[in-house]
Chain A
């Protein structure tokens, strides 16, 4: 079973920041927070991951609370192409550990 809780859907205006929350109150000390997204039935795509520090890459920023019980994925300037289902997953940092997907958040970016 997924160990995360996400809102089922969110809307965001094009050009604005999209802030996607995730609760993972039972996260273990050796588990990372991963974010993936799935655009219209394509294969899921990795976005970013982190342990306890905030992380940023060319796609997004990840903010993890100090107690690590929740996090927020930030898409700084959402475009229509960011419309997708976003999955927050907790997982140990071991390469052959599978991802367990929950229902994710369906983000709709509106023009």
Chain B
């Protein structure tokens, strides 16, 4: 299994530009989570989906952030316009929300965003 795949791994952009981060969950998983990690705030949950439906987006910092999951194998997190304070590592995670599994979340390697 390829695991959770995120792209790009690194992104450097200028303030005001649109940023799109992508995530491919593990095949067969039906829950997907977006997290953001900074030195100051640690790992924060931004939004999560179950069966492609957003369940809780209360962690999305403001209207500049949006996330979609058009199908079970793809999700995007978009920032428009980007600001320097959005600089962080963004993690995507997925899991299977039913059955006898451990409830374990599988994380991708993250997308490191730098906004100048």
- Give the total of B residues in contact with A, Cβ under 8 Å: 32
Q: Are A41 and B103 in contact (CB under 8 A)?
A: no
Once the chains are docked, how many angstroms separate the CA of A6 from the CA of B101? Answer: 27
Q: Are A103 and B42 in contact (CB under 8 A)?
A: yes
B55 within 8 A of A: yes
Q: Are A99 and B105 in contact (CB under 8 A)?
A: yes
If A49-B102, A95-B31 touch, whether A41 touches B97 (CB-CB below 8 Å) is no
Report the minimal beta-carbon distance from B55 to chain A, rounded to whole angstroms. Answer: 7
The 3 A-B pairs at the shortest CB distance, nearest first, are namely A43-B107, A95-B97, A96-B97
Q: Are B42 and A95 in contact (CB under 8 A)?
A: no
Q: Which residues of B contact A96 (CB under 8 A)?
A: 30-31, 48, 50, 55, 95, 97
Once the chains are docked, how many angstroms separate the CA of A29 from the CA of B93? Answer: 26
Chain A positions 52-109 with a Cβ under 8 Å from a chain B Cβ: 87, 91, 93-104
If over half of A's interface residues share one DSSP class (helix, strand or loop), that class is named, otherwise mixed; here it is loop
Instruction: Convert B70-95 into 0s and 1s, putting 1 for each residue whose CB lies closer than 8 angstroms to a CB of A.
Output: 00000000000000000001010101
Nearest CB in chain A to that of B48: its residue: A98
Q: Which residues of B contact A95 (CB under 8 A)?
A: 31, 95-99, 101, 103
Report the minimal beta-carbon distance from A18 to chain B, rounded to whole angstroms. Answer: 21
Q: Are A43 and B31 in contact (CB under 8 A)?
A: no
Instruction: Name B's A-contacting residues (CB within 8 A).
Output: 4, 30-31, 33, 35, 42-45, 48, 50, 55-56, 89, 91, 93, 95-99, 101-110, 112
Q: Are B108 and A43 in contact (CB under 8 A)?
A: yes
A30 within 8 A of B: no
Q: Which residues of A contact B35 (CB under 8 A)?
A: 101
Once the chains are docked, how many angstroms separate the CA of A49 from the CA of B103? Answer: 9
Q: Which residues of A contact B91 (CB under 8 A)?
A: 43-44
Once the chains are docked, how many angstroms separate the CA of A95 from the CA of B102? Answer: 8
Once the chains are docked, how many angstroms separate the CA of A18 from the CA of B35? Answer: 28
